[in-house]
Amino acid sequence: MIPSIEVGHAVGGFLVAQISAGVDLRAALPTLGLAAAVSLFAGRVVRGGWNGVLLVFSVSTALTLAAVWARGPRLTPLQQVVESCAALSLLWSLVALLQRRRASNRSSDGISAPSLGGAIRLAALLFGATAVIPQTLILVMRIVVTAVDLAHGFPGPPPRNYGFEAVGLWSFGLLLASAGAGWLVTRDRRLAACVFWLSALLVTWTALLVPAFRADASGAFERSAMSLILLIGLSGVVALSAGVARAALAFRWQSAPRTPFDAPTAIESPAAGIPESCAVLSIGILVLGCYHLLVPVELRWGGLRASRLTVAASLAGSATAVFWFLRRYWSDGLADAGMGLASLAVCGFALVLTPLGGSLSDSYPAVFGTLIAALALATGGWTWVGCDWTGPDSGTTSDGWREGVAPHAKRFAFLCAALALVAGALMTYWPRIPSIASMDHSMARVTAGFAAHLLLLLVMLWSSRRLHRMTFHMLTVLSVLSTAAFLIVRMMPFASRAG
């Protein structure tokens, strides 16, 4: 008898060749059904694990061809393959879940349950990977095209579709359901990271379905809320993952046997891969947050102020989720991501209070002044954390996360101070740019800019005294020079009158 694996390779090679040649495979359905029946008969005669593989392969191919036949040419070939593989992944995950509820070692059907169960789980995994890889590549190409259009400030020529349609959301939904069913079968907590990234891909795909530009009343193009929707969605994924992890830890704490001296932190940590995934996704949230704070989208229902408030709230929610993970699962990447999100959230809430008026280019000096004040406050806050969260009186918890945060806080204090000086230099020399018509030397603007520089100088002096580092002494000197340069540039229009 020919081994089942050789039969599977032969049938698979035949199908690939026929699909490549564009042959109608509707007539292959009876053959594949016969192959499934042969595999069942072979399981009664020959005891081997490959019979289960042949059975899974035959049934999967027959179902795929039947689905393609039933739906017709409504989808592109690539999307047909992706959707079929996602549906098969969910199907075999559900079959594995049903099989798990039966006796695990019973073999009444002629095929050993362990070998058939392994083939079913392997099929769910392989079909899921086959579906998610092309979808991810399509999504990456769409992200690149959209980023280029946003950099140019106007929409380019329509790119090739490559299967990027709303129907692709069904594939991600099926894959999410398959990952959830797989977790119920294996109880492998690493599947939580798969669910996390599938959710992030689903949110990104949904946001990019919105056009990046829209036409206003005059026919000109303006940015849409697409990137803001993406920022809110990704922040929601991070916050929701923290909420689910917290609920799971609370459930395990209530159900696990314990003594009165046990602490909740002694219960199992969040699922493997979730904290690291949050740290990686936070990088994208940081980039989107910086982009929206510097080039805000004017919402139709709330204007620039509502847009900045939405961005700040999203950043704050992501930072809260990351810090929650940090308390239970220490990671240097998580610490940096949480501090970056928190610092940017402070800048976002400060920009909400910035007076609005005039064009965006004319209001940039006021934006820079607000950023100087916000980053100065962030510098002072991280300096306090770095100095007071160390030592015997720091009140550290049993997991010692505060002692780990302190060194990162000192580095972020330096980073925020350096960024504040960069914003000060931009605010100082912004009116001297030839393309800027406004001199921005009104008494209110000069007073506000000087107050922001003065706040930064005072914070730098306090931080230098607390940290005793040469780098902060140098930044203090640079802040003095930045304040002087700001006053000199702003007073230049009054030099002829004073002379």
Q: Which of 406, 349, 346, 353 is nearest to 378 (CA)?
A: 346
**CA atoms of 269 and 251, how far apart (whole Å):** 13
**CA atoms of 324 and 181, how far apart (whole Å):** 27
**CA atoms of 121 and 110, how far apart (whole Å):** 19
Task: Determine phi and psi for 219, rounding to 5 degrees.
Answer: 95, -5
Cα R_g (the chain), whole angstroms? 30
Count of alpha carbons within 13 angstroms of residue 440, beta-carbon side: 30
From the CB of residue 233, how many other CB atoms can be counted at a distance below 10 Å? 17
**Cα angle 181-182-183, degrees, rounded to a multiple of 5:** 90
**Cα angle 400-341-477, degrees, rounded to a multiple of 5:** 90
What confidence score (pLDDT) does residue 373 get?
Answer: 93
Query: Is pTM beyond 0.85 here?
Result: no
Task: Determine phi and psi for 3, rounding to 5 degrees.
Answer: -60, 150
- CA torsion 93-196-129-177 (nearest 10°) is 30
Q: Which of 294, 293, 252 is nearest to 269 (CA)?
A: 252
**CA atoms of 327 and 399, how far apart (whole Å):** 8
Whether the CB-CB separation of 213 and 224 falls below 8 Å is answered with yes
**H helix runs in 353-442, sequence order:** 360-388, 401-429
Q: Which of 439, 442, 441, 428 is nearest to 485 (CA)?
A: 428
Count of alpha carbons within 13 angstroms of residue 448, beta-carbon side: 18
Whether the CB-CB separation of 386 and 406 falls below 8 Å is answered with yes
Which segments of the chain have a pLDDT < 70?
1-54, 58, 65-75, 101-116, 217, 219, 252-271, 356-362, 390-400, 435-441, 492-499
**CA atoms of 416 and 414, how far apart (whole Å):** 6
Distances from the Cα of 314 to the Cαs of 128, 237, 297, 345, 351, in angstroms? Answer: 31, 11, 15, 8, 14
Question: How is residue 408 written in tokens?
Answer: 């990162």
Distances from the Cα of 349 to the Cαs of 144, 227, 294, 307, in angstroms? Answer: 30, 19, 13, 11
What confidence score (pLDDT) does residue 193 get?
Answer: 87
Task: Determine phi and psi for 244, rounding to 5 degrees.
Answer: -65, -40
From the CB of residue 455, how many other CB atoms can be counted at a distance below 10 Å? 19
